[in-house]
Structure 1
C-alpha cells in the first residue's frame, strides 16, 4: 500500500484521468508488478527481441496459427461470474462480431502481440483494441477518443503521441500501441499489480477507480474490482475483455470459428530517412497508393510529416523493394508538390474537385479559415491530389462509372477464410473500394460461396524491349524512366536486391505500348 499511497498523494491535485508529470510516465517502463491474478505461464514460448525494427520476425514460434499463440499466452486467472457470462452470451449471439474484428486486426495483430510479449504483459491486453475500436484505426468516439486504443487528446499528448497537420500519433498503430502499453503499465503500478483495477482505470481513469476504492475502504467493504461502485460502462468493460479473452482461448468449447491468421508479420517497418510522399513510395515499391495509405492511417495528407516519424508500415512482400529504391532516390524527388493560381470565378469546391482533393484538405494545406479566395492567390495542392479533367458538375454516379470504366470487371467467389482485406490485396485494390462496389460495410464479414464484383485495374498492352545499362544507372532509376515497378524489373531479369548493375548489361523491360 505504501507505493500506492505515495502515488495517490502525488496525483491528488493533477486530475482524475490525465497525467501531467514525465516522472509518472517513466514508471510505465519498469517491470510489471507480480500479481496473484497472473498464472505461471508467462510468455515462455514466443517472446522475442525488440519490436518495430528490422528484426521483428520471430522464426522460433512453435505454432503457425496466431490465435493459438495468443491463447497460449493468456495469463489472468479470474473466476467466472454473471457479468462475464452476460457479455459472453452477447458475443455468442452476435457471431459475426469476432469475424469482423479478426478481419480488421489481420494487418496489425502480429505486431501488437509481439510488443505485449516483449514487455511480459498478459495477452488479455490484445482484446482492448477489440473492445475499444473493433480494430479500426480511424475510429473516433463521441468524447474525441481516436485510434485502435482510443486515446483522447490530453492522454495521448501525456504519453508522447504527437499531432500536427500531417500526422496524428493516435492513429499510428506502432506509436499508439507503445503509448497504450506504457499507460497500462503505469496504471498497473498505480494499483499495486491488480490487473482488473488496471483495466477498469483504462476505461474510467485512475482517479475514478481510486475514489471507488477509498469509498469502500471507509465503509469497511472489499476493494476488489467486482465490489467497486463504478460507472455502468466500466462495470461492463472489464467483463467484456475477460469474455472476449475466454472465447479466444476456448474457441472450440464455445463452437466459435476464428479466421486462421498466420503467425507471421503482414507488415514491416521501413525507415524512409526523411519526408516521403506516399505516391512516390508506392511507385517505388510497386503497389497501389491506396494500399499504403490504408496501413498508415496516421498520415493525414498522403505524405509523412516534415517532423517525422520517418517510417512507413509496408506489406512485407514489398518492403525490400522499397528499401532498395529509397537508397537511390534523389532528395528532390521525395515529395511531389504543385501550386495553383486562383482565377476569376474560382471557388474552393471547384478547385478541389478539379485537383482531386477535398475542400477540407485544400483548406488544411493552405491554413484557410474561410472559403474566401482572391484572384491571383497561390494555393498549395496537397500531395495526394491528382488533377481531374472531369467537369465540375459531374454527378456521383458518373464519377463512379468513370472510375470503374478503366478497370476490368470480374466476379470473385468467396472462399473459406477470405475477408475484404485479403481479397483486396490479391486484386490490388483497397478494401473500402471493394466494400462500396458490393454494397457492403467496410467491416462486413463474408460467407463462403458469396459472389463479389471486383473492378481490377486493366493491364494495358505492353511491348518488350532490351535496355543496355549505362554508367550511373540503378534499378530504381531505370524503373522510373520507363514508368514500371522496380520489383517487375527485378522479376523480369531474375535480379536480387543485392545485385549490382554493370555498364553494358542488357535488361528486358515490358513497357506501355502507347501506339
Structure 2
C-alpha cells in the first residue's frame, strides 16, 4: 500500500497492504521477548488515560513539551547506515511536512503516547501514523487501507475493528490505536522480540518476512532485517520509521523546529451510555456540531451508532459540561424523532425500510416488545443519522468574503506565532479547523510559519444575541450563571477572558450574550 502526498515529495508513505495475508498462527498471550534492538535506557511507565478521570487530568507530568517526552521514551538502537540517511534526507528536504504532521497530530498524539507507554512498547511506534497517513484519520489508500494506522478491512476485522454504515473502527483513534498496538505485540512475539522484523512485517505481512528469514537460513546468511531480501517498499519502510524517530529525537542536530505541543490531553472520553445525535451532544456541551464530529472521525453519520461504542471524544474544556448535561437528559431526547401514523397494511419492517432505520431502533424508540401494530397507532421514528439541513455543522463555509461577512462577525487578522497550529488557533477563535483553512486558502497539508497573517471570521455572538452585563452575586458560580441564561460555561469564560480556574467574586461584572428571545 502506498499513500502519496505532495508535501512528502519522494517520501512514499507505505503501510499495511498485505496485512490481510497475515499468518493463521493463534494470537497468544505470552510475554513479548526482549528485543535485541531495545536500548537499556530506563523508561517511565504511565497508567492508561484513554478513559480519563478528574484525578488523572490533575496529575502533573515531568515535562511540558510532548515532543521531549516522546524523545525520552525512544528505545531502539540502530546503525546510521545509508538507507536511514537517505530517508532522513528526504524527510528534511521539506520544511513543511513535520509541521503539518504536528498540526494534525495535536488532538490525538497525547492519547497514543499514553497507550504506547502503558504497554511498555518502543516509542518509535508513534511514528507509524506519521509515515502511514501523516496523522490524517480520514486517509484512504488505493488498496482501501483506512485511518491513522492504515488498516485494510480484513485485518481491521481480525483485530476487532467493526465497519458498517454508521461507524468505521479503522478511523476511531482509540480503537484503531489499540488494534495496531495489539498487532505489533503479536508480530513481536512472532519474530522472537526482533522489533525491526516486527515493523517490516507490519508493512509487508509476517508471511513475507518469515519466508525471507527462511531463505537466508537455508543459504547460511544472516537473518537480521538489514540482510533480508524483501520488497523494495519494505526495504524503505523500516528506515523511514527509524529516520523519523531520529529526527524527532534530535531536532536541534538537524536544525528542525517542531511546534510545541503541550504534554497534556486535548481530548477526553465521555461515555454517552447509548446512542446520541451529535447536534444534541454539541448543544449540551456548548460547542459546534462540526467541531464535535471533527474529533470523532469514526462516525459516518451525525448520530452515533446504535451498536456503539457509546462514547465520544470531546475537547477537555467541554467534557464536564457534556457529562453533567447527559446525566439529566432523558433517553428519549437523545435522538430527534418524528411522528408516523400507522395505516392499514403497515409492518415494522416496511416502516423501518421506508425511514432508513432498523426494526430494533423502532422497537426501542417506541418501547415495543413484539411486532404487532394497530391502525392509527402513532410511532416515533428516530433519526437515521443523516445531516439536518438547517444545522450549521453541515453548511460549507462560503468562498466569497462578502457572503462570509453576512453570516459571521467582523473580519479579524491574526499573526501566527511560534508553536501555533491551525487546531489551536481555530479553537481559540471559536471556528472550525476546516473553516480557518478555507478562509486562508490553506488545505489539510498546509503548515503555518511565524509571522504569517491569517484572516478569521469569528462567529459573532452579538450578531445573533443581545449583549448584557451581569453583576456576580454571593453564591453565584459560572455553572449557575450559565444555566440561568441558557449559555455554555466555556462561552462565559471566553467572553470574559477568565482563566481555567473560572474564579469569580461578588460584585464582578460579566459580559453575556444571551438569546434575543430570552
Instruction: Give the TM-score normalised by structure 2.
Output: 0.78
Cα distance in 1 between the residues matched to 2:215 and 2:401? 60
Of residues 446, 449, 467, the one that matches 2:448 is 446
Q: 1:402 to 1:73 in 2, by over 3 A?
A: same
In the alignment, which residue of structure 2 is the partner of 1:111? 111
In the alignment, which residue of structure 1 is the partner of 2:210? 210
Cα distance in 2 between the residues matched to 1:492 and 1:255? 40
- State the Cα deviation string for residues 118-151 of structure 1 (Å, max 9, x = none): 0000000000000000000000011100000000
Of residues 482, 485, 498, the one that matches 2:488 is 485
In the alignment, which residue of structure 1 is the partner of 2:422? 420
After TM superposition, the structure 1 stretch with the greater mean CA deviation from structure 2, 401-410 or 242-251, is 401-410
- State the Cα deviation string for residues 414-446 of structure 1 (Å, max 9, x = none): 111111111111111111111111111122101
| Root mean square deviation, CA, Å | 3.7
Cα distance in 1 between the residues matched to 2:333 and 2:105? 34
Cα distance in 1 between the residues matched to 2:388 and 2:479? 23
In the alignment, which residue of structure 2 is the partner of 1:53? 51
The equivalences for 1:191-210 within 5 A come to 191-210=191-210
8 Å CA contact retained: 1:465, 1:511: no
SS in structure 1 of the partner of residue 26 of structure 2: helix
Does residue 406 (structure 1) correspond to residue 410 (structure 2)? The answer is no
8 Å CA contact retained: 1:75, 1:124: yes
In the alignment, which residue of structure 2 is the partner of 1:326? 326
Cα distance in 1 between the residues matched to 2:242 and 2:355? 42
Cα distance in 1 between the residues matched to 2:484 and 2:401? 31
Residue 165 of structure 1: how far off its partner (Å): 1.5
Q: 1:306 to 1:92 in 2, by over 3 A?
A: same
Q: 1:382 to 1:400 in 2, by over 3 A?
A: farther
8 Å CA contact retained: 1:32, 1:120: no
SS in structure 1 of the partner of residue 457 of structure 2: strand
Cα distance in 1 between the residues matched to 2:299 and 2:172? 8
Cα distance in 2 between the residues matched to 1:492 and 1:436? 25
Cα distance in 2 between the residues matched to 1:293 and 1:34? 41
Residue 57 of structure 1: how far off its partner (Å): 3.8
SS in structure 2 of the partner of residue 312 of structure 1: strand
Cα distance in 2 between the residues matched to 1:385 and 1:400? 25
Q: 1:215 to 1:329 in 2, by over 3 A?
A: same
Q: 1:457 to 1:201 in 2, by over 3 A?
A: same
Cα distance in 2 between the residues matched to 1:389 and 1:322? 19
SS in structure 1 of the partner of residue 27 of structure 2: helix
8 Å CA contact retained: 1:419, 1:446: yes
SS in structure 1 of the partner of residue 461 of structure 2: coil
Q: 1:339 to 1:165 in 2, by over 3 A?
A: farther
The equivalences for 1:233-382 within 5 A come to 233-338=233-338, 365=356, 382=384
- State the Cα deviation string for residues 250-287 of structure 1 (Å, max 9, x = none): 11111111111111111111111111111111111111
- State the Cα deviation string for residues 355-377 of structure 1 (Å, max 9, x = none): xxxxxxx999579xxxxxxxxxx
After TM superposition, the structure 1 stretch with the greater mean CA deviation from structure 2, 160-169 or 381-390, is 381-390
- State the Cα deviation string for residues 64-103 of structure 1 (Å, max 9, x = none): 1111111111000111100000000111111211111111
8 Å CA contact retained: 1:340, 1:381: no
- State the Cα deviation string for residues 226-260 of structure 1 (Å, max 9, x = none): 11111111110000000000011111111111111
In the alignment, which residue of structure 1 is the partner of 2:458? 456
SS in structure 1 of the partner of residue 291 of structure 2: helix
In the alignment, which residue of structure 1 is the partner of 2:74? 74
Cα distance in 1 between the residues matched to 2:486 and 2:386? 19
After TM superposition, the structure 1 stretch with the greater mean CA deviation from structure 2, 50-59 or 379-388, is 379-388
Cα distance in 1 between the residues matched to 2:355 and 2:116? 36
Cα distance in 1 between the residues matched to 2:99 and 2:275? 37
Instruction: Give the TM-score normalised by structure 1.
Output: 0.78
Cα distance in 1 between the residues matched to 2:168 and 2:242? 30
8 Å CA contact retained: 2:19, 2:152: no
Cα distance in 2 between the residues matched to 1:207 and 1:236? 18
8 Å CA contact retained: 1:435, 1:442: yes
In the alignment, which residue of structure 1 is the partner of 2:228? 228
- State the Cα deviation string for residues 394-420 of structure 1 (Å, max 9, x = none): 999689865552102222111111111
SS in structure 1 of the partner of residue 177 of structure 2: helix
8 Å CA contact retained: 1:24, 1:186: no
Cα distance in 1 between the residues matched to 2:95 and 2:60? 33
SS in structure 2 of the partner of residue 24 of structure 1: coil
The equivalences for 1:380-395 within 5 A come to 382-383=384-385, 385-388=387-390
Cα distance in 2 between the residues matched to 1:57 and 1:480? 25
Cα distance in 2 between the residues matched to 1:58 and 1:463? 34
Q: 1:386 to 1:403 in 2, by over 3 A?
A: farther
- State the Cα deviation string for residues 457-508 of structure 1 (Å, max 9, x = none): 1113425599xxxxxxxx99997896532555799999x99xxxxxxxxx99
Cα distance in 1 between the residues matched to 2:271 and 2:157? 24
After TM superposition, the structure 1 stretch with the greater mean CA deviation from structure 2, 102-111 or 434-443, is 434-443
The equivalences for 1:38-49 within 5 A come to 38-44=38-44, 47-49=45-47
8 Å CA contact retained: 1:418, 1:446: yes
8 Å CA contact retained: 2:147, 2:171: yes
In the alignment, which residue of structure 2 is the partner of 1:434? 436
Residue 383 of structure 1: how far off its partner (Å): 3.9
